[in-house]
Amino acid sequence: MSDRTTREEVSGSGAVSRRGFLKGAAAMAATAQAAATTVAKAQDAGADSFWGGGHGGSPQFAYLGTYTVGNGGNGEGIYLYQSNPATGELKLIKVVSNTPAPSFLVASASGRFLYAVNEVSNFEGTSGSVTAFAVNRQTGDLTPINTVSSQGGGATFISMDATGKYLFIANYGGGSLAVIPINADGSVGAATDVKTDVGDVGTTTATSAVAGSFAISGHDAPHVHCAIMDPNNRFLLQTDLGQDRIYVYSLNPASGKLTPAATPYVSLPPGDGPRHLAFHPNGRWFYSVQEEASTLTFFRYDASSGGLYSEQTISTLPPGFVGTSFGTELRFSDDGRFLYTCNRLHDSITVFAVKFNGELRYVGQAATHGDYPRQFTIDPTGNYLYSCNQRSDNVTSFRINRGTGIPSFIGQYLAAGSPSCMIFLPSGR
């Protein structure tokens, strides 16, 4: 699919000049190159063991969520790994929780608590659930604190606001969004607000899909798939894959209640299926990945109103590709120069350069070396990427070229049943 651009009128506030962007990009590139050089020197120096001295950093804990046996998968729960920040290798420590279907995870900024959605539909009747854990910062062990209803079936996504007071749960099966409060002891409380999407759904065939695509799913009913706060912690943005909409809510930080923004939602082309969302590090550019269409859409974001203004839509698949694939996840490099997304069935990570005006330019792709990448993550150093390959029951590891942005497979496969999500524990404060 060719690069397709649609522009709407946008105010000049927050605009960035080409010269300013290029200066910033050059500085970030220099920083990235310096970091890569440091890592390379550490690798050349060698080490006495997996965690040996001279590796230029401390090991990091990583947690892997899975679909578990009896809940649509082969996983055992939440897996704990340590990473070598110089080589990118991961080492399995153990399974630290057998909680059912922990398909998406988030950790507190302090690193003291971890939260998982349980993607089930039989908690307290027909709901999914949310489980809180205390984290042992020395060993990585998880101790369950409590579990509450997610207020809808098939909880599939979890995020946290900047204050650490609220969790936002996307219930795919229930078509609902829940705000879950976090107590001072790290436990979770009953929902302070629940929004259930109602109304028409999109067509079963994606408007913007490539030729020959049979990527048909999720347009039988409303399906909430993702919800994230904006960088100012003022507005919550939420996808509904079935309705082909991105909803915008204002969050009351005292009550945990949501109020529709002045423009309560924007629509994507019928059948395209918006899935996940991400803000650029500058906070002014906003992106969504569409599952059925395998596209990325770039919006300019008005932080004062929560307004979204469509600027560009571009395929996540390589030029000339025809057939069926599903777009899944999107993440930025730490310097904001590159945007990554992944494709299920095509089984690839696609790399885009971020232009001075926020538009995307296709750079290239890397095979995931695994089947059906449901999610991927980038480690805290920004040098390594890990793909969670759901159907091939493995996680694959890649080194990111900080100059070109392209990931290269480092040769490590990790066995894990039906991996769904990987996060690194924050360093804490």
Q: What is the pLDDT of residues 24-65, one digit of tens each?
A: 444 444 444 444 444 344 333 333 344 443 344 567 999 999
Mean pLDDT of the chain: 89
pLDDT given at position 120? 97
425 contacts 398 by C-beta, under 8 angstroms: no
Predicted pLDDT of residue 162:
97
Q: Does the pLDDT at position 10 exceed 50?
A: no
Give 150-188 pLDDT, tens digit per residue. 999 999 999 999 999 999 999 999 999 999 999 999 999
Residue 59's pLDDT is 73
Q: Taking 60 as the threshold, does the pLDDT of residue 251 lie above it?
A: yes
Local confidence band at 307 (pLDDT 50, 70, 90 cut-offs): very high
User: What is the arithmetic mean of pLDDT over 1-7?
Assistant: 36
The proportion of the chain whose per-residue pLDDT surpasses 90, expressed as a percent, equals: 85
* pLDDT (0 to 100) of residue 57: 55
First-to-last alpha carbon distance for the chain, in angstroms, is 45
CB-side neighbour CA atoms (13 Å) of 404: 10
Which tens digits make up the pLDDT trace of 83-134?
Answer: 999 999 999 999 999 999 999 999 999 999 999 999 999 999 999 999 999 9
Kind of pairing, strands 60-66 and 419-424? antiparallel
Dig out the tokens for 171 from the structure: 């219930």
pLDDT at position 427: 76
DSSP state, 232?
A: T
What is the model's pTM?
0.88
Residues 202-209 have a mean pLDDT of 95
CB within 8 A of 8, min separation 6: which ones? 309, 310, 311
Phi then psi dihedrals of residue 29, to 5 deg: -65, -40
For residues 25 and 149, the model is more confident at 149
Supply the Cα-derived Rg of the chain in whole angstroms: 20
Reading across the β-sheet that carries 326-332, which strands appear in turn?
Answer: 326-332, 338-344, 348-354, 360-367
Listed range (18-32, 159-173, 191-205, 210-224) with the worst mean pLDDT: 18-32
Cβ(377)–Cβ(387) below 8 Å = no
246: which residues sit within 8 A by CB, 6+ positions away?
A: 237, 238, 239, 240, 265, 266, 268, 274, 277, 288, 308
List the one residue out of 78, 56, 156 whose CA is nearest residue 423: 78
| pLDDT for res 429 | 54
β-pair partners for 82: 61, 91
pLDDT band at 428 (very low <50, low <70, confident <90, very high): low
Query: pLDDT tens digits, residue range 398-422?
Result: 999 999 999 999 999 999 999 999 9
